[in-house]
Amino acid sequence: MFKSGYITIVGKPNAGKSSLVNQLVGFKVAITTPKPQTTRFNIKGIITNEKSQMVLIDTPGVHLPKDKLGEYMMKNVTTAISSVDVIVYMVDATKPTIDQANETIMENIANLKTKTILCINKIDKIEKEKILKIISIYQEYFKTLGGTFAEIVPISVLKKDGISILVECIEKYLPEGKMLYYENEITDITERELVEEIIREKALNYLDEEVPHGIKVEVEKFKKRKTREKQSIYDIEVNILCLRNSHKGIIIGKNGSMLKKIGSAAREDIENLLGDKVNLKIWVKVRENWQDNDLYLKNIKEKI
Average pLDDT, the chain: 91
- Residue among 265, 260, 264, 269 nearest 191 (CA): 269
Report pLDDT for 56: 96
Q: Looking at domain 191-302, which CATH architecture does it have?
A: 2-Layer Sandwich (3.30)
Q: With beta carbons less than 8 A apart as the criterion, state whether 18 and 31 touch.
A: yes
Share in percent of the chain as helix, strand, coil (round to 5): 40, 25, 35
pLDDT digits (tens, 9 = 90+) for 10-60: 999 889 999 999 999 998 888 888 777 788 878 899 999 999 999 999 888
CATH assignment of 3-172? 3.40.50.300
Q: Are 228 and 280 in contact (CB under 8 A)?
A: no
Residue 174, pLDDT > 70, answer yes
> How are beta strands 115-121 and 86-92 bridged, if at all?
parallel
Domain chopping of the chain, boundaries? 3-172, 191-302
H-run or E-run covering 19? helix 17-25
| Cα–Cα separations (whole angstroms), residue 49 to 53, 183, 186, 261 | 6, 9, 12, 39
pLDDT per position as a tens digit, 227-238: 999 999 999 999
pLDDT bucket at 267, cuts 50 / 70 / 90: very high
Strand-pair category, 86-92 with 232-242: unpaired
Is the confidence at residue 183, as pLDDT, over 90? yes
Judge whether 3-172 and 191-302 match in fold: no
* Predicted TM-score of the model (pTM): 0.88
